[in-house]
Amino acid sequence: MKITPPGTLGAALIDVLARTECPALTSRRARRSERAGAPQDPIVWREAVGSNVVDVDGNVYVDLTAGFGVAALGHRPPAVVEAIREQSGRLLHALGDVYPSDVKIELLERLAAFSGIPEARVILGSHGADAVEVALKTAVLHTGKPGVLAFEGGYHGLSHGPLAICGYQPAFRTPFAAQLNPHVVFAPYPAPTDTVAGAMTRVRDAYHHARERGIEIGAIVIEPMLGRGGVIAPPEGFLGELADLAREIGALLVIDEIFTGLHRTGPRLLSREAGVEADILCLGKALGGGLPISACIAREEIMASWGAPGGEAIHTATFLGHPLACAAALATLDELEGLHLGAIVTRTGRALLEALRDRLADTPLVTDVRGRGLAIGVELTTGAHVLRVMRRLLERGYLVVPAAPDASVLQIAPPLVIEEELVLGFVDVLAEVLAIEAGREG
C-alpha cells in the first residue's frame, strides 16, 4: 500500500463520480458511512491481473471478491484474453438470432453438453438477471401457471422479472411493486442446521398459502447456496426434496447457479446436490471469464413451449450471443476443465475455512464461520462491524464485500486460482482487524 485509499487521484475521480453517477449510488455510500461511522468512499480500479487489483493511486490489493465472482480464473486470464483478441480480429458483432456467429453455435453445443440436462436447449443472455428472466418466461409458457415460489434471502437480479422473486430485501421490490408479478410467495431459506423435514414443512406452508390466495405455482426458484443472501447452504437432501415437490405440484425447478456454479463451491462443476436435476439451469458471472454473458438451459420439451412464433421472436436482444463473449466463455470452459479446479478449490477452500475457524474461535465479534469451497462467510454480530472491518481491510490491501440483508456477513469469494498462501495470509490480517474492532467496541 503506497497511500491510504482513496489517494489523491482516486479522490479526484470519486468527485467526478459523485457529479455524474446516479445519486442513488452516491447516497448508498453515504448511508453506509453513517451506519459504520467510517468512510466508505470506493477505490478506483486501474488494472487487475490474477488475484491482484491495482487502483489509480498505485495501491495493490488482494481481491477476495473475484469481481462479484466473475473472475473465477483470476483477472485477465491469459487463455481468455487470447481468445478475445483472436475473435476481435475476426468478428466483433453478428446478427443475434437472425444470422448468428459460428462461435455462438459452438458455445451453445458446449453448454448443452456440459449441463448434464438431457437433450438440452440454451438461450444466451448478457448477465445473470437475463438468464433468470428467461427461466421465468419459460416456466409460465410450459406450465401455464404464473406463480413462483422463491426464497427469503435469495438474490436473482434486479430487472423486473427477477426483482419480483428477489427475497434478499423487500425494500428492493417495494418502489416497483405495482409493476411486478403479484403471483409470488416466499419460503424461508433453510439454515444448515435445519432438518430437511422441518425446512420442507415451511416450504409446503408457503405453497399452501399461495393456493389460498389463488396463486398457481409454475416455478420454484432457488440458489443451491445463498451468496449475497449470507453464504448459507441448506441441509443435504433439501434440494432433492424440493425437486420432488416441484414434480408433485406440476412446477418447474429453476436452479440459479449464477454465483455458485463453475466450481465456486467445490469439486462439482455445478453446486447442486448430486442426483438433483434442474428443470431449468441458470449460469452467469464466471462463465464469460470477465465478459458479460449468461445462459438459461432446459430440456428440449420445456424449451419447445416457446413454440414457433408466427411473426417476430418473442424473446431476443441485439447482443444475443455476442461473439466476443462467446469466445471468452468457450476459453473459460476449457480452462475450468483443463486446470482440474474442482480439486484445487476443495483443497484451498478447506484450508481457508479451517484456518478461519481456528484463528477466530475466541473472537467475540464472530458468531459463525461457514461456507463451501471458495464461497465463505464470516458472520459478525452487526452489519456496522462488517462495514468498519471492510474498511480496515481495504486500508491493509484486501478487498471483501458484505453479504446478508443486514450486511452482517463478510463474504470471502476469491478467484478459484488464488495461491493458498495469499488467502492464509489474509486470515492473520483479519484476526488483527477484528481485535482492533473489538477493542473499539470495548
Helices 196-212 and 238-249 pack at an angle, to 10 degrees, of 30
Is residue 236 over pLDDT 90?
yes
Q: What secondary structure does DSSP assign to 266-287, as a single string? A: SSSSS-SPTT---SEEEE-GGG
Domain 8-73+340-441 has CATH 3.90.1150.10: yes
| Least confident window among 36-45, 236-245, 326-335 | 36-45
If you average pLDDT over residues 410-425, what whole number do you get?
96
pLDDT for the residue 31:
54
pLDDT for the residue 403:
97
Q: Where are the domains of the chain?
A: 8-73+340-441, 78-338
CB 375, CB 409: distance < 8 Å: no
If you average pLDDT over residues 223-247, what whole number do you get?
96
pTM for the model? 0.94
Give the full edge-to-edge strand order of the sheet including 120-125: 120-125, 294-299, 280-283, 252-256, 217-222, 147-151, 184-187
Residue with cell 447457479: 257
Assign 27 a pLDDT band (cuts: 50, 70, 90). low
Q: What is the pLDDT of residues 176-220, one digit of tens each?
A: 999 999 999 999 999 999 999 999 999 999 999 999 999 999 999
pLDDT for the residue 307:
85
Q: What is the pLDDT of residues 344-358, one digit of tens each?
A: 999 999 999 999 999
pLDDT for the residue 281:
97
- Cα–Cα distance for residue pair 257/416, rounded to 1 Å: 16
Is residue 442 over pLDDT 60?
no
Percentage of the residues of the chain whose pLDDT score is greater than 70: 95
Is residue 116 over pLDDT 90?
no
Instruction: Name the β-bridge partners of 187.
Output: 151
One fold for 8-73+340-441 and 78-338 = no
Assign 168 a pLDDT band (cuts: 50, 70, 90). very high
CB 206, CB 185: distance < 8 Å: yes
Is residue 159 over pLDDT 60?
yes
CATH class (in words) of the domain with range 78-338: alpha beta
If you average pLDDT over residues 44-68, what whole number do you get?
98
- CB contact set of 108 (below 8 Å; sequence gap of 6+): 122, 124, 321
CB 164, CB 180: distance < 8 Å: yes
Q: What is the pLDDT of residues 280-310, one digit of tens each?
A: 999 999 999 999 999 999 999 999 999 866 6
